[in-house]
Structure 1
């Protein structure tokens, strides 16, 4: 007669197999009931001596009692011989937990690679203390890229004119009737005006050319006429629209409109500079409220609607080393982080992330490629210690668990703070605040607070000058955002190369002075980088106009000798 344990196991196995789509035949069930009962492995005893049962206490993927019951059933069916469990192999097989996921209360010093890479300005960035502001900016946006702007703008204008003429929508008063082929000098002057408008805001775009003394500006009228600027702005383009692949077609690229600029400055960012040991990854936002498939909403950002960028920056300077634009693709965090790291992995760097990225899985993947991770984490992340779910701590108290090099800390400040680190121990450090009081915090929390703001620093620097005029063309918004990112990186390198601290606003002022007047160019008469070129030489006197076009009885028409 079969033992009670065997009857229970067989009854459960038959019931579970009947639930499966691949049911057993009657002959198979009879063979099961008449099988050999001498095998002791089929007896399931959920005691503390059973190693499979003990391992289940450390399996952190279940969040409810029902899921725990399913796991217990999986243990039972897994102990049945292979010939009895063929109906549900993939579902009922016990998945052994990773031993590295076992948490303990013994602290230890992590054994990770020490930073062994070079950092700073590379040899490819052949600029020195004598280099001008324009030289630094031209490294990222060189004449070859500006020439591409010119060619694509002229191409788009010709295509637009052809389309308007064929559809008979080109009216007499249309500004496109005045279109002339744009030159390299005009593109540089156009970019200079864009940068000037970024640091000198006006209520409307045309107010930069207004004669109203309350909003008048001398810079823009002396660099380019208003109509010419608006004409170039409406036709400004970076890529041929006829080469765009529609959604669903092979080779479709959502960023086709800005792809040449993104690829160019990404390569230049990485060639010019290597960040130090501490780097950060976070999201940036290019403000845009128009219609766009991959427009994002981020309530924590100053600009809540726009195009989201994943950015990797140096922690202390904010230099953007790499970035990618989120355009609706898969949001797998590990892929995002490893793609941004690129060649920086394997050098012993430490990556600081926020709770959106941090997880035990990411920490172990980065450990494999020689990169440490420090960051805040959500308490319900898969793989964290189970006791964190209903943890109650007093202010200043902490609890930690360790799994080899991975440290998990819960520390109570005003509210619980959950941290993961592969670079720290659970040591508490006492420090003195600015007010002279002493406070105690975990070492990983102090380190995180000092180095977490790399991308936030970049956003802050970019907020000092932004082309904030409305447009329905998302490609232009993202283009000017990337150009501004290049200006910020050029300013950071300027401060590192020359050992000076220049603000981004001052850097852009000098750039607006130097960009319109380049060697070998012939800027428009009066273009002198913000000075009034027409009035900068000679003396201006008034004389009576001998041939006035319009006479006034009360006044005489007078004009300057030089005007």
Structure 2
């Protein structure tokens, strides 16, 4: 109860802070030059980009990155600066090289809104279930139960052929436990978890709930109020229509909980996730570079140090551009809430998001940014003097500064372009690369590397870590409704963040944390209300007993109540026996020369 009260107070404080910040404008939109450019701007990421697809992730691998170099004959455009932080001299008309010193940007003081780390007392004992309930609280599950029961009642009234009894909070937690169990123990069909009398039979699912009960709950899981769904559907095509209505209020609850119980460390990264689904809802995206090529796109802010999901948003369509600057701009600005985070944070991103406009607006809010960029983005420098060519040697780099923003180009196996408002161009960093000589021999060589490239590669690993932790034991499986796919992703976020909180709390008390696998197993056991000890099977059931109880008044006891041996009958023989198996209820011979009892049970 103490954990629940502390968690509710923390959650309420964060919600109040978020509500106060809703009316604050994050930045002033940049004016477009013409009506034609405005129309182009609303449909594209940037007016200067003619052919950009949303499926490029732009990450910098350990060996190389391909960044398409686009030259332009147009003069460098003057940028409108509306904030004091962006007041600077025009960038140089020539690229600088390694030998030229860079003073670096003004330093940003790190002042987080709360002490970084877990916002829970390390003196208290937090079980996996306690940590999971920080995100899926009892109140949230009560709402889920209420809406699920209403949805099931509608289905029954429509003539659905199944029995329904109201689901309660305890049963819904057991249902979630089975969802996680199926994430760890993969079988082809749901019904396989309830198969009996085979070597592949599962022990836990039948003890938690019946197969039909699990399936009926899965068919009726509903996050929103079913009675309010039709009113929202009637507004489809109007500004009043909420595309995420069926995800609420659980979506808001998970978002608030992610922020309430953890204050991220300084370095953050913007992650782009895909939740695979084939439903045609108007919100699904196709991204050929992703493992899940079609589905819902989520923008997530993660802590680079441990992969914790700090905040996330669901992409609802290209019309959701609040500032007029495009999807890539708005997705980052909506996640970087200064009132919740504080100031002085560093955020890393790939070239889908990075633009000079975004970096300058973040810097005006005392937030540093670093990311790969595309040469044809508006505002990126394009001088030809002292520029690199395709024949430049490996390790060659050029840089140019525009106020707090430095743009660097580095030649690895291919050209890499990175800009930053955090770092200076070069601090003497070096990287090792395996190089093949003309004779075919591989050797290790050291090459100079610009600081933004080194730091980008170092911190964007937090995105990969976050994705791996979620995918290890993902609850995703086929569903009949699109919003239930996102419900399963919310479960993944809650379980993964709960495990990261467990790691952080263990580090505070200098205790070795459980492995991710052990944590999930313990969480499943606690959700289902079981114990981890495997129930011992009874071997006393398969014992020989008389076919019929012996009646002492019968004169011929030896032949009384005999039946034909089942095994002998299968072999085409007729042998009578007074013995049968107690469990199988099958008559079987039990003699020194003919032990059909033993042979029969070898086949089971």
TM category (shorter chain) comes to 0.7 to 0.9
The residue aligned with 1:77 is none
What is residue 341 of structure 1 aligned with on the other side?
336
1:375 is the counterpart of 2:363 = no
Q: Does 1:502 align with 2:514?
A: yes
1:255-283 CA-to-partner distances (Å, cap 9, x unmatched) read 11111111001111111000011000121
Deviation, structure 1 residue 336: 1.8
Moved more, 505-514 or 330-339: 330-339
TM-score by length of 1: 0.74
Structure 1, 151-160 or 450-459: larger mean CA deviation? 450-459
Equivalent pairs, count: 451
Q: Which runs of 5+ in 2 are unaligned?
A: 1-69, 82-86, 435-443, 550-561, 567-579, 585-604
Which residue of the partner structure matches residue 103 of structure 1?
A: 91
CA distance 1:552–1:285, shift in 2 (3 Å): farther
* SS of equivalent to 1:400: strand
SS of structure 2 residue aligned to 1:408: strand
Q: State the 1:304 CA deviation.
A: 1.5
What's the CA shift for 1:291?
2.8
Deviation at 1:285, TM superposition (A): 1.3
> 1:389-443 CA distances to partner (integer Å, 9 max, x unpaired)?
9741332111111112110111111111111011111215344649875332111
- Indicate yes or no: 2:130 matched with 1:135: yes
179, 191, 208: which one aligns with 1:194: 179
Which residue of structure 1 lines up, in the alignment, with residue 33 of structure 2? none
SS at match of 2:344: coil
1:193 & 1:361 partners in 2: Cα distance?
47
Q: 1:468 to 1:480 in 2, by over 3 A?
A: closer
Match of 1:443 in 2: 451
Deviations 1:365-395 (A, max 9, x none): 0111000011110111111112269741332
Give the CA deviation at 1:107.
Answer: 2.6
Query: Offset at 1:540?
Result: 5.9
Name the counterpart of 1:410: 409
Aligned-pair distance for 1:236?
1.4
Higher RCO (Cα < 8 Å, 6 or more apart): 2
CA contact 1:294–1:326 (8 Å) conserved in 2: yes
Give the stretch that moved more between structures: 305-314 or 235-244.
235-244
SS at match of 2:377: coil
Query: How much does 1:162 deviate?
Result: 1.3
Say if 2:313 is the partner of 1:324: yes
Equivalent residues of 2:388, 2:397 under 8 A apart: no
Greater alpha carbon shift after TM alignment, 492-501 vs 360-369: 492-501
Q: Are residues 1:471 and 2:479 paired?
A: yes
Distance 1:108 1:183, change over 3 A: same
Structure 1, unaligned runs of 5 or more: 1-61, 72-94, 165-169, 518-527
Alignment of 1:239-250 (within 5 A): 239-244=224-229, 245-246=232-233, 247-249=236-238
Query: How far apart are 1:469 and its partner, in Å?
Result: 2.5
Q: Residues 80-99 of structure 1, C-alpha deviation per residue, up to 9 Å, x if partnerless?
A: xxxxxxxxxxxxxxx88656
Structure 1 residues 316 and 547 mapped into 2: Cα distance closer, same or farther (>3 Å)? farther
In 2, Cα distance between the equivalents of 1:407 and 1:159?
59
Q: 1:294 aligns with which of 278, 283, 296?
A: 283
Which of 523, 531, 543 is matched with 1:511 structurally? 523
1:386 corresponds to which of 367, 382, 387? 382
Q: Aligned residue for 2:192?
A: 207
1:148 to 134, 143, 151: 143
Equivalent in 256, 259, 265 of residue 276 of structure 1? 265
1:226 matches 2:226: no
Selected match of 2:155 from 156, 160, 179:
160
Contact 2:151/2:222 (8 A) holds in 1:
yes
How has the CA–CA distance of structure 1 residues 452 and 344 changed in structure 2, closer, same or farther, with 3 Å as cutoff?
A: farther
**2:57 match:** none
Larger gyration radius, structure 1 or structure 2: 1
RMSD: 3.1
- Determine the C-alpha separation between the residues in 2 that align with 1:161 and 1:545: 50
C-alpha contact 1:345 1:371 (8 A) present in aligned 2: no
Query: Comparing 145-154 with 210-219, which one deviates more in the overlay?
Result: 210-219
Measured in 1, the distance between the counterparts of 2:548 and 2:213 equals 31
SS at match of 1:357: coil
Q: Is 2:582 the counterpart of 1:558?
A: yes
Shift of 1:544: 3.9
SS of the residue 2:474 aligns to: coil
Q: How far 1:212 moved relative to its partner?
A: 6.6
| TM-score, scaled to structure 2 | 0.69
Q: Which moved more, 1:436-445 or 1:253-262?
A: 436-445
Matches of 1:217 and 1:326 in 2, distance apart?
Answer: 39
Task: Determine if contact 1:376/1:419 at 8 Å carries over to the other structure.
Answer: yes
Counterpart contact for 1:373–1:422, Cα < 8 Å = yes
Q: Distance in 2 between matches of 1:155 and 1:375?
A: 47
User: Which structure shows the bigger proportion of residues in helix conformation?
Assistant: 1
Contact 2:219 2:480 in 1 (8 A): no
Q: For the Cα contact (< 8 Å) 2:145–2:168, is it kept in 1? A: yes
1:252 correspondence with 2:255: no
